[in-house]
């Protein structure tokens, strides 16, 4: 395959570009795809399309709105870019879905039914303009494709006042829908890499209220969603606030992949509107851009791409990423010019896979390598870090501030983890404390009450004659006895079981999916393990009494607690060092 790219402002300049293309284009090819990235009105773009089709009658012509484009590693503002790809062994076919005619969910199902019958599908490119629709149902339908088939693309973007972004295929254009390009080939290979560079900051917040279409977060932790920006950034709700928010997306994790999402609108009710959907209960964190990590992610893309040895490269780059990097933005792009012909545009969202799922991201530079030939002449690139010389102007200072935030955040996170562990665990024995084991038990009982099919049994034990141990040997020995007992209980249980210190010399074990007889057998085994070791200074051993009870579905929790305590009391009354059930 071969890729040729040109920039132009009007029909006259386009004519010169097409004349140059005639002299450069290969004589033989199987198919040709022409893509227009444009900030022009549809009437003009349609005329551009017609001129391209006159020169290339066999071409499939598609396009999207974008007022910032990429050509040969440079950023072009408010001009048109024509990207022409000639394929030797590939056919590019189109599917167009207008969401005003067919919903995203129905469109996605129609596309999924179509592509499952295409045996030679090599990749899928999406040019979208969501309008008022949530594209998540459409993208979810594509998630059924094998992960070996890449799915990539971008969301139309144009920030010119009163301009309505659109996508088009042939003479059909839409302000709400998707153009799907299906690459059919046994030879075409793709390499797709999404570099982020934003890092989460602060505590996770749950989506507690969401609009019906899933695109507007109304509440985070039961507070109006915009409050997160007011609380952490002191950003007021005003028309000029957008310039204060573009560097601080919200970040979530899906399938182990971090996804950044940037609001496109703040409603009068202080809700956050996005171009893509969420799910109620998902957890979000505020995120900040680290220029050094942004450049490092770009370098990784360069190295992977050089090893892949593409014949062409496409970029789907976040417009807010470009704005954040300022004069350093081209630093990410220029090195790709030494790898392969490249072009692309700045989008309002980047479409790619997160694990198996196809999702819309923000703040990502999505780099797509393409080749039909086997990898040849792999280009070695010298590994290097992102140094200050690569960051110009204020970005050098931003880098140091980001580094400071990263270190402080890591220290705070580690401190919070220690505090969380202290809050949940007994300091002497390192097992769960009373509050945590009681919470675990209540959760297990609630699950049993709701589901009914998973039995819950509780074991409570008390070290026999513990007061005499303290009186005779001292509290230091008593502490060692408690630690020995806790360790013995942990060693005798499965990893999924829960052991906690109930108080003093009492311990409690929560067993899910165990009958009363099975729980009694476990208690008997633990009793023998505890009594087996001579743990006292004079060579003596200790014993423990056990009470076991199984929760009856629908039983009052307080009544169940009393049965557990009664079973332990029965064991004590029966001579200690035994197991009793109730």
Active site residues: 505
Helix (H) or strand (E) holding 301: helix 291-308
Give the DSSP letter string of 204-262.
EEEEEEE-TTS-EEEEETTEETTHHHHHHH---SSGGGHHHHTT--EEEEETTEEEEE-
Q: How far is it, in rounded angstroms, from Cα 193 to Cα 370?
A: 12
Going 34 to 40 to 45 to 51, the CA torsion angle's sign is negative
Q: How far is it, in rounded angstroms, from Cα 196 to Cα 186?
A: 31
Which tokens go with 350? 């980047």
Greatest CA separation for the chain: 103
Which tokens go with 274? 């996005």
Going 226 to 231 to 232 to 234, the CA torsion angle's sign is positive
Length of the chain: 582
Do residues 124 and 150 lie in contact, with contact meaning Cβ atoms separated by under 8 Å?
Answer: yes
Q: How far is it, in rounded angstroms, from Cα 371 to Cα 311?
A: 5
Q: How far is it, in rounded angstroms, from Cα 481 to Cα 428?
A: 11
| 207 Rama sector, left if φ>0, alpha if ψ -120 to 50, beta otherwise | beta
Nearest CA to 361 among 206, 245, 151, 194? 194
SS3 573: helix
What is the 8-class DSSP label of residue 361? E
Going 392 to 394 to 398 to 400, the CA torsion angle's sign is positive
The two counts, helices (H) then strands (E), for the chain are: 15, 31
Phi, psi of 482 (to 5 degrees): -65, -45
Strands 151-155 and 121-129: parallel
Q: How far is it, in rounded angstroms, from Cα 326 to Cα 435?
A: 51
Strands 80-87 and 60-65: unpaired
For residue 320, the tally of other CB atoms under 10 A from its CB is: 24
Q: How far is it, in rounded angstroms, from Cα 81 to Cα 68?
A: 10
Task: Match 């210190």 to its residue by tokens.
Answer: 501
- Give alpha helix (H) positions in 160-290: 227-233, 242-245
SS3 468: helix
Do residues 160 and 265 lie in contact, with contact meaning Cβ atoms separated by under 8 Å?
Answer: no
Phi, psi of 165 (to 5 degrees): -60, 150
Helix (H) or strand (E) holding 417: helix 395-424
Q: What is the torsion angle, in degrees rounded to the nearest 10, for the CA atoms of residue 527, residue 532, residue 534 and residue 536?
A: 0
Q: How many CA atoms lie within 13 A of 169 on its CB side?
A: 20
SS3 55: helix
Going 500 to 503 to 507 to 510, the CA torsion angle's sign is negative
């Amino acid at each position: 395959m071969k890729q040729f790219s040109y920039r132009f402002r009007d029909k006259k300049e386009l004519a010169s570009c097409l004349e140059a293309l005639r002299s450069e284009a290969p004589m033989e090819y199987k198919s040709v795809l022409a893509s227009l990235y444009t900030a022009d009105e549809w009437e003009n773009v349609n005329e551009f399309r017609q001129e391209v089709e006159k020169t290339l009658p066999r071409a499939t012509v598609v396009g999207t709105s974008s007022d910032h484009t990429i050509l040969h590693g440079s950023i072009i503002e408010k001009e048109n870019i024509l990207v022409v790809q000639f394929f030797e062994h590939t056919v590019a076919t189109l599917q167009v879905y207008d969401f005003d005619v067919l919903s995203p969910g129905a469109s996605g199902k129609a596309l999924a039914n179509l592509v499952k019958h295409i045996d030679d599908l090599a990749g899928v490119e999406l040019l979208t303009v969501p309008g008022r629709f949530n594209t998540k149902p459409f993208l979810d339908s594509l998630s059924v494709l094998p992960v070996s088939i890449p799915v990539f693309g971008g969301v139309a973007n144009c920030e010119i006042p009163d301009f309505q972004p659109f996508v088009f295929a042939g003479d059909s254009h839409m302000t709400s829908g998707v153009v799907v390009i299906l690459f059919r080939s046994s030879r075409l290979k793709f390499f797709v890499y999404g570099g982020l560079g934003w890092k989460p900051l602060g505590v996770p917040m749950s989506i507690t209220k969401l609009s019906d279409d899933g695109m507007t977060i109304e509440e985070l932790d039961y507070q109006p969603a915009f409050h997160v920006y007011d609380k952490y950034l002191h950003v007021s709700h005003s028309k000029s606030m957008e310039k204060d928010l573009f560097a601080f997306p919200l970040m979530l994790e899906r399938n182990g992949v971090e996804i950044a999402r940037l609001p496109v609108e703040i409603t009068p009710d202080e809700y956050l509107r996005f171009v893509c959907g969420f799910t109620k209960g998902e957890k979000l964190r505020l995120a900040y851009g680290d220029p050094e990590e942004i450049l490092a992610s770009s370098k990784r893309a360069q190295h992977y791409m050089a090893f892949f040895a593409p014949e062409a490269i496409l970029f789907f780059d976040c417009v807010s990423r470009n704005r954040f990097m300022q004069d350093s933005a081209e630093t990410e792009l220029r090195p790709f010019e030494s790898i392969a012909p490249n072009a692309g545009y700045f989008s309002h969202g980047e479409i790619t896979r997160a694990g198996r799922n196809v999702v819309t991201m923000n703040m990502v530079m999505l780099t797509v390598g393409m080749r039909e030939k086997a990898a040849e002449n792999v280009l070695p690139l010298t590994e290097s870090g992102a140094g200050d010389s690569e960051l110009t102007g204020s970005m050098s200072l931003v880098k140091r501030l980001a580094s400071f935030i990263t270190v402080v955040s890591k220290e705070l996170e580690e401190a919070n983890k220690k505090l969380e562990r202290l809050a949940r665990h007994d300091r002497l024995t390192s097992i769960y404390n009373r509050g945590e084991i009681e919470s675990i038990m209540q959760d297990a009982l609630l699950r049993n009450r709701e589901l009914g099919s998973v039995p819950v049994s509780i074991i409570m034990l008390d070290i026999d004659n513990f007061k005499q141990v303290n009186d005779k040997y001292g509290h230091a020995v008593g502490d060692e006895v408690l630690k020995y007992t806790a360790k013995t209980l942990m060693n005798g249980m499965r990893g999924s079981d829960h052991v906690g210190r109930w108080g003093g010399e009492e311990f409690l074990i929560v067993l899910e999916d165990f009958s009363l007889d099975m729980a009694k057998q476990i208690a008997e085994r633990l009793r023998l393990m505890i009594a087996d070791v001579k743990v006292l200074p004079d060579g003596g051993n200790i014993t423990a009494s056990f009470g076991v009870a199984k929760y009856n579905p629908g039983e009052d929790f307080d009544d169940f607690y009393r049965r557990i305590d009664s079973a332990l009391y029965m064991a004590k009354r029966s001579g200690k060092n035994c197991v009793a059930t109730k």
